[in-house]
Structure 1
Amino acid sequence: MKKRTRISGLFLVITGATFWGVGGTVAQKLFQQYEIDVNWLVSTRLLIAGILLLLVQSFKGISTKVFDVWKNKCSAVQLIIFGLFGMLAVQYTYMASIKYGNAAVATLLQYLSPVIIIIYLILRKRNVITRHELLTVTLALTGCFFILTNGSISGLSVPKHAIICGVLSGIALAFYTLYAVSLLKKYDSLVIVGWAMIIGSVGLSFVHSPWQMDFMHLPAKAYFYIIFVIIFGTMIAFWFYIESLQSLSPQETSLLGSLEPLAAVLTTVFWLKEHFGLFQWFGMACIIGMIVILALGKKAS
């Protein structure tokens, strides 16, 4: 029984991470081929995915816990901050980076967040950087250099707007990761993520609401891509990843989570036919290597 539970956990985290990566590539298809507005896609995917995650929590038989976070004033304020400056900031900057560049680069730049967290904690605690941390920072910066330049120092191989949004996505994800700790200690992760998505959607709705969209000009294939991004690339990806923690350790899930950038790169290159240079592949290997080292380091400690 335990073995079966572990197998199901591996299936969940692998599927969730893969859907995350592929979802970014499908979003790129929507931006480039169908000219879908990034504001609309972000607000819509967050709203629908957030509602569905809360419904999943309700169907588990603990629907009363869905609203517990709002009964505590301090937690409610924290949740609103997390929804706007964590969830919305991560999702918007990530999608904007995809729009201006591509899903592969956007996903890899977002994975600079562990290094940003390391640097933040070192500066905050005024600790000396360890060899393990130095290695991860070096890998991240080396990977970032080769991804953005393809080995040529004379110019960037990625649009500047994509780089700016991608780096901001990494910073936002670092905040998202650190700020959510206290909330996740008190409330179920599906509840926090679900409400954060809805809050983020409401915040962005003042710029572009989900119902402001001309659907008449879209072909059937575009609807399929939109549904995939919302259901599989957002709702199911988050749900499966969180559920995998029931049978796997956080180290294992974070390690297998490195499949996300791999899936994003492979689908961007082989499905959308985006050029990815030799040095950019090396840069990707550095980023994934950094993720693996971080995960193994946590397991050892």
Structure 2
Amino acid sequence: MPRLTSSKTVSGFIMAISSAIFWGISGTCAQFLFEQKQLNPAWLVSWRLMLAGGLLVGIAFLQKNSDAAAIWKKPKDILQLLVFAVLGMVTVQYTYFYSIDLSNAATATVLQYTGPMFVVAFYAIKNRRWPIMLEYASLFLAIGGTFLLVTHGSFSSLVISEKALLWGFLSAVALAFYTIYPVVLLRKYSAATVTGWAMLIGGLVLSVWTQPWEVIGVWDIGTWSAFLYIILFGTLIAFYSFLTAVPVIGAQTASLLCSVEPLAAAAVAVIWLNVPFGGLDWLGTLFILITVVLLTLGAKKEGAKKLEKSH
């Protein structure tokens, strides 16, 4: 990896952090569209996936040594792509946006960030090993952070609905699947190709149910601004920036920097939409972000050990 002082590495850090901020703000834009412009989460997700997916596929075709068409040559790869598009891409997008609709962008984003714990659980079961001490500490922090976020420290009541909590955790499980499942495809094809096609296919499949050609909600300058932000900055530019940063600074470092996303979502939701977010909410958010940091650093350390053993 290039030294931290190199301009290329610095630009990689900036692009990773920018993508996280763009994603966080897009969640708040979605809350604005649901609360004030009466848009439907599934309708918005279908348009987001189709438009951003189409643009990403176009970018993938324009890349040098493009593999955008090659992914359709092997039946096994096609099947994996279709599964990822429907069970990965559509599910992670819909559960997240619906969770926002039921609660708010800040809470939904933080709850989704408990997803890495499900990834840890999956690999612990798959590899038939007990979690290490760092993973136990992360689990404790994740549970504690979630408890503070959804109860404000009370054992007798929730500050969000049970339905919102359920869909928040479904969003986290979907994020875990989204993280784990496409690994094999990503070893064969570029991230732009896999992500772009998955978005486009997922959006088309979802459109059968949502019928996006039927315009809903109140459309004015505010609606168009938030809608276009979600498509361009919150999806296309965010994903492209992240995918550009990964080869420069590494996937784990880029993922670690993306922990900024819940903070961006919370800050913008509080400032723009006046979402109540008190001290215990921020403390719960901090606990969950520490969980992500610990797991990412632990994975990085484990990867370094494997590399040393291979030499």
TM-score bucket of the superposed structures, by smaller chain:
over 0.9
2:228 match: 227
1:130 match: 132
Where do 5+ consecutive residues of structure 1 fail to align?
none
Partner Cα separation in structure 2 for residue 214 and residue 33 of structure 1: 13
Partner Cα separation in structure 2 for residue 129 and residue 166 of structure 1: 24
Letter in 2 for 1:249: G
Partner Cα separation in structure 2 for residue 71 and residue 204 of structure 1: 24
Partner Cα separation in structure 1 for residue 132 and residue 301 of structure 2: 15
2:32 match: 29
Structure 1 position 8 matched with structure 2 position 4: no
Q: How many Å apart are 1:210 and its aligned residue?
A: 2.5
Equivalent residues of 2:53, 2:195 under 8 A apart: yes
2:56 match: 53
1:38 match: 41
Normalising to structure 2: TM-score of the pair? 0.93
1:150 match: 152
Letter in 2 for 1:34: K
Equivalent residues of 2:26, 2:230 under 8 A apart: yes
What's the CA shift string for 1:63-100, capped at 9, x where partnerless? 4x211111100000000000000000000000000011
Q: How many Å apart are 1:120 and its aligned residue?
A: 2.0
1:166 match: 168
Partner Cα separation in structure 2 for residue 60 and residue 79 of structure 1: 20
Letter in 2 for 1:254: S
Partner Cα separation in structure 2 for residue 287 and residue 96 of structure 1: 21
Normalising to structure 1: TM-score of the pair? 0.96
Equivalent residues of 2:96, 2:109 under 8 A apart: yes
Q: How many Å apart are 1:214 and its aligned residue?
A: 4.2
1:260 match: 261
Q: How many Å apart are 1:121 and its aligned residue?
A: 2.0
Identity %, equivalent residues: 38
What's the CA shift string for 1:253-278, capped at 9, x where partnerless? 11101001110111111211111122
1:39-118 aligned at under 5 Å gives the runs 39-63=42-66, 65-118=67-120
Partner Cα separation in structure 2 for residue 250 and residue 106 of structure 1: 24
Partner Cα separation in structure 2 for residue 55 and residue 93 of structure 1: 27
Letter in 1 for 2:242: Y
Between 1:2-11 and 1:44-53, the stretch displaced more is 2-11
Q: How many Å apart are 1:286 and its aligned residue?
A: 0.1
SS in 2 for 1:153: coil
What's the CA shift string for 1:222-246, capped at 9, x where partnerless? 1011000111111111111111012
Partner Cα separation in structure 2 for residue 198 and residue 165 of structure 1: 24
1:296 match: 297
Q: How many Å apart are 1:186 and its aligned residue?
A: 0.5
Q: How many Å apart are 1:7 and its aligned residue?
A: 1.6
Between 1:249-258 and 1:91-100, the stretch displaced more is 249-258
Equivalent residues of 1:40, 1:212 under 8 A apart: no
**Equivalent residue pairs, number:** 299
1:140 match: 142
Q: How many Å apart are 1:197 and its aligned residue?
A: 0.4
Equivalent residues of 2:38, 2:216 under 8 A apart: no
Q: How many Å apart are 1:126 and its aligned residue?
A: 2.6
